Amino acid sequence: MENKKELRGWLDNFGLDHPLVIAGPCSAETEAQVLKIAHALKQTDTTVFRAGIWKPRTRPGNFEGVGALGLKWMQKAKEETGLLTTTEVANAHHVDLALKHDVDILWIGARTTVSPFVVQEIAEALKGTQKTVLVKNPVNPDLALWLGAVERLYAANVKNLGVIHRGFSTYEKTRYRNNPEWQLAVDLQNRFPDLPLILDPSHIAGRRDIIFDLCQTALDLNYDGLMIETHYDPDNAWSDAAQQITPQTLKKYTEDLRIRKEIGEAAEFKNKINTLRTQIDVVDHQLIEMLGKRMQIAGDIGRLKKQYNVAVLQAKRWNEILGKMILQGEEKKLSEEFILKVFKAIHQESINHQDKIVKR
């Protein structure tokens, strides 16, 4: 697949002067719930109404969606509000039902994108469709797998495409439900600048208090849109209760978010530099996270040294580390002088940590 303007035709056709907003509940629960949320969203910047009909649950026993019945409710929501609709499809049968019920945009969920077999089945069921298909990132941080899914659709002559960044699973517990790994999405954006990139802050956050900040970062990185889970009674939602926000909150967020829409040469420079600066912020954040992780491991080593009564400073080991890092640095065009400075500072901080532990 090459980067082509046609990829974003469906989005340009909306003629929006702000990023695309897709909003609606995690799951369609009842007809009344679907209609009530859709009507409330009509008062916001929302263009597309989302609702999950078939819910992929990590563990069995949770609410698994209302099934095809919900598609009728979405059709009714569209008739009454004029909002477009979108839902997740996870196999050819879902595609068939969604198309029969005139769903406008289909999305492929994170647990489906990981499986080339299933993605291929869906691509074949969608062959030549004019509908828009959005591909969520796979649960694991694998850019090739994500792109592969988009390419399978493209090869099946599906040309209205986009991707949704919903974060990546980690074994370690972090502040996020799914780690954003912004760099991965930014890499994809650099390779395919015309493939619409949409942020799903809800599934990254897993909680509502950091959704606004995630949206702002995405807009600063020039994302094309947001998909935000929205419910009039989030706490009592049948799925993903902790991360949903009300339509009123969504309205407030879209009013408060900074959107760069100035044009002209000066604005173009500002846009580009802001995007690059946000990329730097993302990397700096990762640097601090990594340094914190390194220091924790150094602390564990300190405790071990104390237990076995071993000296904190192990000169041989340290020289080995330095040698390796200088070589690796060379590959990345980092000078020996720089590597020495950085690692001396890191090493000193580790020794300070370990000293404190040993002397406790």
Where on the chain is the footprint of ligand PEP (CB under 6 A)? Answer: 26, 52, 56, 109-111, 136, 166, 200, 203
When the beta carbons of 204 and 282 are compared against ligand PEP, the nearer one is 204
Partner in contact with 109, chosen from ligand PEP, Mn ion, none, beta carbon below 5 to 8 Å by kind: ligand PEP
When the beta carbons of 175 and 332 are compared against ligand PEP, the nearer one is 175
Whether the Cβ atoms of residue 68 and residue 96 lie closer than 8 Å to each other:
no
When the beta carbons of 62 and 157 are compared against ligand PEP, the nearer one is 62
When the beta carbons of 90 and 123 are compared against ligand PEP, the nearer one is 90
Residue nearest Mn ion, Cβ-based: 26
When the beta carbons of 52 and 247 are compared against ligand PEP, the nearer one is 52
142 to 35, 168, 183, 224, 341: CA distances (angstroms): 37, 9, 12, 21, 33
Residue 200 binds to Mn ion (criterion: CB under 5 A): no
Distance from first CA to last CA of the chain, Å, rounded?
Answer: 59
Instruction: Tell me the closest approach of the beta carbon of residue 360 to ligand PEP, in angstroms.
Output: 44
Partner in contact with 353, chosen from Mn ion, ligand PEP, none, beta carbon below 5 to 8 Å by kind: none
Phi, psi at residue 290, to the nearest 5°?
A: -65, -40
CA 335 to chain centre: 34
* Torsion over CA: 144, 148, 150, 151 (sign): positive
Residue 227 binds to Mn ion (criterion: CB under 5 A): no
Rounded Cα distance between 88 and 109, Å, is 6
When the beta carbons of 196 and 329 are compared against ligand PEP, the nearer one is 196
Partner in contact with 234, chosen from Mn ion, ligand PEP, none, beta carbon below 5 to 8 Å by kind: none
Helices marked H in the chain = 9-12, 31-41, 69-81, 92-100, 110-113, 116-125, 143-155, 182-191, 201-205, 211-220, 247-256, 265-308, 315-331, 336-359
Residue 26 binds to Mn ion (criterion: CB under 5 A): yes
Instruction: Tell me the closest approach of the beta carbon of residue 22 to ligand PEP, in angstroms.
Output: 10
Helix 211-220 to helix 265-308 angle (10° resolution) is 130
When the beta carbons of 218 and 298 are compared against ligand PEP, the nearer one is 218
Residue nearest ligand PEP, Cβ-based: 109
Instruction: Tell me the closest approach of the beta carbon of residue 112 to ligand PEP, in angstroms.
Output: 7
Residue 240 binds to Mn ion (criterion: CB under 5 A): yes
Helix (H, G, I), strand (E, B) or coil at 187: helix
Rounded Cα distance between 20 and 259, Å, is 12
Instruction: Tell me the closest approach of the beta carbon of residue 213 to ligand PEP, in angstroms.
Output: 19
Partner in contact with 181, chosen from Mn ion, ligand PEP, none, beta carbon below 5 to 8 Å by kind: none
When the beta carbons of 26 and 158 are compared against ligand PEP, the nearer one is 26
Contacts of 311 (CB under 8 A, 6+ apart): 305
Instruction: Tell me the closest approach of the beta carbon of residue 355 to ligand PEP, in angstroms.
Output: 45
When the beta carbons of 249 and 275 are compared against ligand PEP, the nearer one is 249
Instruction: Tell me the closest approach of the beta carbon of residue 28 to Mn ion, in angstroms.
Output: 12
Residue 105 binds to Mn ion (criterion: CB under 5 A): no
Partner in contact with 196, chosen from ligand PEP, Mn ion, none, beta carbon below 5 to 8 Å by kind: none
227 to 17, 47, 48, 50, 281: CA distances (angstroms): 17, 10, 9, 8, 23
Rounded Cα distance between 105 and 226, Å, is 14
Instruction: Tell me the closest approach of the beta carbon of residue 239 to ligand PEP, in angstroms.
Output: 7
Instruction: Tell me the closest approach of the beta carbon of residue 37 to Mn ion, in angstroms.
Output: 14
Rounded Cα distance between 56 and 64, Å, is 7
Instruction: Tell me the closest approach of the beta carbon of residue 200 to ligand PEP, in angstroms.
Output: 6
Helix 116-125 to helix 92-100 angle (10° resolution) is 30
**Chain residues in the site for Mn ion (CB under 5 A):** 26, 240
